[in-house]
Amino acid sequence: MTKISPEIETNKMAMEAVPPVSADVSFISNSFPKYKLGADHQVYDEPAEDNHGPSLKNVIEQEASNLSDQHKRISVRDLATKFDKNLAAAAKLSNEAKLREVPSLEGHVLLKKLRDALESLKGRFTGRNKEDVEKAISMVEALAIKLTQNEGELIQEKFEVKRLVNFLKQASEDAKKLVNQEKSFACAEIESARSVVLRIGEALEEQEKAIQASKPQDVDGLVEEVQEARRIRLLHQPSKVMAMEYELRALRDQIQEKSIFSIQLQKELTMSKWDKENKSHLYMLDGSEALGSYLQVKPCSNEVPQVSQCSFQWYRLSSEGSWREVISGANKSIYAPDPLDVGRMLQVDIVSNGKKLTLTTIPIQTVSGLGSHVEALLRKSNTDFNVVISQMNGKDHSSHSTHSFNVGRMRIKLCRGWITKSREIYSPTMQLCGVRSDVGNAAKALFWQARKGLSFVLTFESEKDRNVAIMIARKYALDCNVVLAGPDDLV
């Protein structure tokens, strides 16, 4: 691009007619700015080379974005330092903006004087020279407008710089306040830690003094403890411990043997006692006085009446023999003890030819391991037993097929496969006990009255199953507030 300037003929214009420029005008540069005249006499600036770096506005925006990005990852002290630096830069930029105002005013004065000079020349020229002068005047006016626009932008930048300066001042003050606050907190923590350290030091000194004072006593105590430990170690050598274990086992075996022997002696003494009372020795009880067996009355000689010609009644006595209870339905020569009889003595009255004879047993003993087995089964919700129906409603049952006798927490069920014979919940009308008749395998048989009008005699696979079923059913019934026993039992 080329500099546009009006062509003036020197031979037609008197040089002395041009008014001189005032001496108080100062120029920033020695060359006239380069412009381009467009359509409608509009003036366009030629792009000048950027020799001064980015503009003030770009610098401010870049600094603001950098501060926003680093706000979360710099410390309070760094933030305060940054604010101080930015504040100094903003003050410098403000000073530079103030310096620019003077050249701007000088430019307006220069343009006004140049326009006045051109106006004075306009009246002196005619023709083409006059048009050139008019073009020059329009260019000067356009330059004045452009300068005014630049001044407006400069004022806006100045306002933004002032606002940024105020913001940075406030931020700097806030940062300084934060620094002072953190400093005060740190000093308080340091003082607190110092006091804690002093207290700990004093406590350690006191503890050290106490340890030094009690050291002789502790040494004596430790010596005594070591001596006691040595003595215990000598007493509890492995060989001696094994010997003591063997001695304990031998003592347990002896105690068990003596217990069995004591039971036998007690039985013999009881029998001898009742034999003295019953000198006739006409009848005797055959069988073991324990669960899982049965007792049977037998004659002692052929001279006495046979068992079939006698009448019987069994009784349940207390452990001391102070009272007795009639066992309803037990009027046969055979009786299998019920779990309810454990710990009590049994007694049977024999009536023959108008004479009455009484036989008494020792307290009925339980079976070893029966209690633990019952406790294990009680952890389940129900237990199944294999049984055979011997009698139903007092009549012999023809079928000998195996049924399932299920004892649950809320009810008892008797079934065969999918066919249910009876399923009843625990109720006061239900009865359950060992069989009290002279059926075969009496020790394995059980009497169960499910409800009024329906009763069974069930034979189990073993004596243990029969007693376990009775004990479990009575425990579940008791949990349901029902006492499950035999006919007319007082429990």
Q: How confident is the model at residue 82 (pLDDT cuts 50, 70, 90)?
A: low
**Is residue 234 assigned to a domain?**
no
Query: Same structural domain for residues 308 and 390?
Result: no
Q: Which tokens sit at 362?
A: 């020792």
Q: Mean of the per-residue pLDDT values for the chain?
A: 76
Domain end: 180, 195, 210, which one? 210
Amino acid at 226: V
Question: Quick one: pLDDT at residue 20?
Answer: 45
A 10 A CB-CB count for 445 gives 24
Residue burial 323-334, b: 16+ Cβ < 10 Å; e: rest: ebeebeebbbbb
Region 435-450: what's the mean pLDDT?
Answer: 87
Domain end: 364, 395, 429, which one? 364
Query: Same structural domain for residues 332 and 395?
Result: no
Give the separation between CA 366 and CA 286, rounded to whole angstroms: 18
Give the separation between CA 256 and CA 370, rounded to whole angstroms: 18
How many residues does the structure list for the chain? 491
**Is residue 146 assigned to a domain?**
yes
CB-count exposure of residue 91 (10 Å: 0-12, 13-18, 19+): middle
Question: Half-sphere exposure of 147 toward its Cβ, with a 13 Å CA cutoff?
Answer: 20
**Is residue 330 assigned to a domain?**
yes
Give the separation between CA 363 and CA 446, rounded to whole angstroms: 22
Query: Same structural domain for residues 381 and 453?
Result: yes
Query: Same structural domain for residues 351 and 431?
Result: no
Bigger pLDDT: 359 vs 216: 359
Query: Same structural domain for residues 387 and 317?
Result: no
CB-count exposure of residue 448 (10 Å: 0-12, 13-18, 19+): buried
Query: Same structural domain for residues 112 and 188?
Result: yes
Sole residue written with tokens 């080329």: 2
Beta bridge partners of 114: none
Question: Quick one: pLDDT at residue 229?
Answer: 77
Question: Quick one: pLDDT at residue 120?
Answer: 72
**Is residue 24 assigned to a domain?**
no
Q: What is the CATH number of the domain that holds 323?
A: 2.60.40.2700
Q: How confident is the model at residue 226 (pLDDT cuts 50, 70, 90)?
A: confident
**Is residue 96 assigned to a domain?**
no
Query: Same structural domain for residues 349 and 414?
Result: no
Residue ranges making up the domain that contains 304: 281-364
Query: Same structural domain for residues 322 and 397?
Result: no
Question: Is the pTM above the cut of 0.75?
Answer: no
Q: Which tokens sit at 8?
A: 């003036």
Query: Same structural domain for residues 421 and 344?
Result: no
Region 322-341: what's the mean pLDDT?
Answer: 88
Q: What is the CATH number of the domain that holds 195?
A: 1.20.5.440
Question: Quick one: pLDDT at residue 235?
Answer: 65
Q: What is the 3-state secondary structure (H, E, C) of the chain?
A: CCCCCCCCCCCCCCHHHCCCCCCCCCCCCCCCCCEEECHHHCEEECCCCCCCCCCHHHHHHHHHHHHHHHCCCCCHHHHHHHHHHHHHHHHHHHHHHHHHHHHHHHHHHHHHHHHHHHHHHHCCCCCHHHHHHHHHHHHHHHHHHHHHHHHHHHHHHHHHHHHHHHHHHHHHHHHHHHHHHHHHHHHHHHHHHHHHHHHHHHHHHHHHHHHHHHHHHHHHHHHHHHHHHHHHHHHCCHHHHHHHHHHHHHHHHHHHHHHHHHHHHHHHHHHHHHHHHCCCCCEEEECCCECCCCEEEEECCCCCCCHHHCEEEEEEECCCCCCEEECCCCCCCEECCCHHHECCEEEEEEEECCEEEEEECCCEECCCCHHHHHHHHHCCCEEEEEEEEEEECCEECCCCCEEEEEEECCEEEEEECCEEEEEEECCCCCEEEECCCCCCCHHHEEEEEEECCEEEEEEECCHHHHHHHHHHHHHHHHHCCCCCCCCCCCC
Query: Same structural domain for residues 111 and 173?
Result: yes
pLDDT at 172 over 80: no
Question: Quick one: pLDDT at residue 171?
Answer: 77
Q: How confident is the model at residue 461 (pLDDT cuts 50, 70, 90)?
A: very high
Domain end: 364, 386, 414, which one? 364
Residue burial 193-208, b: 16+ Cβ < 10 Å; e: rest: eeeeeeeeeeeeeeee
Region 418-447: what's the mean pLDDT?
Answer: 89
In angstroms, the Cα distances linking 49 to 28, 34, 45, 58 are 17, 12, 12, 17
Domain count, the chain: 3
**Is residue 74 assigned to a domain?**
no
Amino acid at 79: L
In angstroms, the Cα distances linking 61 to 153, 160, 163, 406 are 16, 10, 13, 91
Q: In the sheet that 295-299 helps form, which strands lie side by side, from edge to edge?
A: 283-286, 295-299, 334-335
CB-count exposure of residue 161 (10 Å: 0-12, 13-18, 19+): buried
Contacts of 419 (CB under 8 A, 6+ apart): none
Give the separation between CA 333 and CA 313, rounded to whole angstroms: 8
Q: What is the CATH number of the domain that holds 390?
A: 2.30.29.140
Query: Same structural domain for residues 299 and 391?
Result: no
Contact between 464 and 292 under an 8 Å Cβ cutoff? The reply is yes
pLDDT in tens, 88-118: 776 676 666 565 555 555 666 777 777 777 7
Query: Same structural domain for residues 317 and 393?
Result: no
pLDDT in tens, 235-293: 666 666 667 777 788 887 888 778 777 777 776 776 666 555 555 567 888 888 888 88
**Is residue 397 assigned to a domain?**
yes
**Is residue 160 assigned to a domain?**
yes
